[in-house]
């Protein structure tokens, strides 16, 4: 008598407890809470080792590796799926493109402000000031993307479709910036539109997180380490370029930084919309679950 291979046997449906833990709300509560806690820990590390960028980098990198491990473990053990959003296929290419475009968008914003006479370069600081912002860029790029695009966007999309995921994750991403020291409602709205749409669109287009991580890290790093800019209402640190920024808040972004500038809003939102259109053309948008079930 021939034995039937185990792989060909029908798998039993998951139990009630596992179905609950695999549900989007529990994913947001459990995995989201863990990643939010780790993001808070990175803030403590950046404060403790503010004068020692080498140690800060090592601690942040170690915490980022732990964050990836927890995310992958949750996907495999609880959700029983492969976390394709962290697939290494295309990782270097997408991360590299994201880094280039993220740095390019911020640099383009500064160049426009320079042409308007709003931003003036006065000189250069020592190149070593390029080092402290590395930790901040890795922290925000990794944990905020895992949290807002990896957990929140994907969870909302599972039930309510891509458009809902795009809107909810963008609004949440903007609102969370209200806790920053010099936060403004205008800045939060700008962040939700320009960054929320851009970063979510990067994920939708590739269905991986590397492009959005590259965007996020490069924008924050270029803003702080290169142009000595204010990052989302946080205290500005000295970077490579000594500068003077004078002009109306609608152009400079005021105390919130260039992210609250109409220039950044136009450039980043235009890029985000272009990615959304490209993703639509490639069929990357997912309808709500009730429409998917109807189709099946």
Residue, of 11 and 81, whose pLDDT is higher: 81
pLDDT score of 74: 95
The CA distance from 160 to 229, in Å, is: 38
pLDDT band at 234 (very low <50, low <70, confident <90, very high): confident
pLDDT band at 82 (very low <50, low <70, confident <90, very high): very high
pLDDT score of 51: 87
Query: Do residues 149 and 209 lie in contact, with contact meaning Cβ atoms separated by under 8 Å?
Result: yes
Mean pLDDT of 78-90: 93
pLDDT score of 15: 64
pLDDT band at 229 (very low <50, low <70, confident <90, very high): confident
C-alpha distances out from residue 271 to 1, 4, 88, 132, 196, Å: 63, 53, 25, 29, 12
Mean pLDDT of 249-274: 94
Nearest alpha carbon to residue 145 among 49, 38, 30: 38
pLDDT score of 9: 39
* HSE value, Cβ hemisphere, 13 Å, CA-based, for 5: 2
226 token code pair: 């290169």
Residue, of 8 and 139, whose pLDDT is higher: 139
pLDDT band at 291 (very low <50, low <70, confident <90, very high): confident
228 token code pair: 């000595």
Nearest alpha carbon to residue 168 among 207, 140, 200, 143: 200
Check pLDDT > 70 for residue 64: yes
Q: Of 15-24, 104-113, 134-143, 239-248, where does mean pLDDT reach its minimum?
A: 15-24
Mean pLDDT of 177-182: 86
Residues forming beta bridges with residue 242, ordered by sequence position: 123
Check pLDDT > 70 for residue 75: yes
- At residue 259's C-alpha, the angle toward residues 237 and 222, to 5°, is 50
pLDDT band at 14 (very low <50, low <70, confident <90, very high): low
Query: Do residues 35 and 147 lie in contact, with contact meaning Cβ atoms separated by under 8 Å?
Result: yes
Share of the chain above pLDDT 90, in %: 75
C-alpha distances out from residue 290 to 26, 35, 154, 287, 295, Å: 20, 30, 16, 8, 9
pTM of the model: 0.91
pLDDT band at 5 (very low <50, low <70, confident <90, very high): very low
């Amino acid at each position: 008598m021939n034995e039937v291979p185990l792989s060909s046997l029908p798998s039993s449906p998951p139990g009630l407890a596992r179905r609950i833990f695999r549900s989007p709300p529990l994913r947001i509560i459990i995995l989201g809470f863990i990643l939010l806690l780790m993001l808070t820990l990175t803030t403590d590390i950046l404060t403790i080792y503010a004068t020692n960028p080498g140690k800060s980098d090592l601690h942040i990198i170690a915490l980022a590796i732990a964050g990836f491990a927890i995310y992958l473990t949750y996907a495999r053990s609880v959700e029983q799926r492969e976390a394709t959003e962290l697939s290494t296929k295309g990782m270097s290419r997408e991360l590299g493109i994201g880094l280039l475009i993220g740095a390019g968008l911020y640099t383009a914003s500064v160049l426009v402000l320079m042409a308007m006479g709003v931003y003036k370069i006065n000189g250069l600081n020592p190149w070593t000031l390029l080092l402290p912002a590395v930790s901040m860029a890795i922290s925000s790029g990794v944990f905020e993307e895992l949290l807002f695009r990896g957990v929140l966007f994907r969870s909302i999309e599972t039930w309510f479709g891509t458009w809902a995921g795009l809107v909810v994750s963008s609004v949440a991403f903007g609102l969370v910036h209200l806790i920053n020291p010099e936060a403004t409602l205008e800045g939060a709205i700008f962040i939700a539109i320009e960054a929320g749409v851009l970063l979510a669109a990067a994920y939708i287009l590739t269905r991986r997180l590397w492009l959005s991580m590259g965007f996020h890290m490069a924008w924050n790093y270029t803003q702080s380490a290169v142009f000595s800019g204010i990052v989302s209402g946080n205290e500005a640190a000295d970077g490579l370029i000594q500068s003077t920024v004078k002009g109306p808040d609608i152009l400079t972004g005021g105390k919130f930084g260039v992210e609250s500038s109409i220039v950044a809003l136009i450039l980043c939102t235009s890029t985000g919309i272009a990615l959304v259109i490209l993703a639509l053309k490639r069929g990357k948008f997912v309808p709500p679950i009730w429409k998917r079930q109807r189709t099946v």
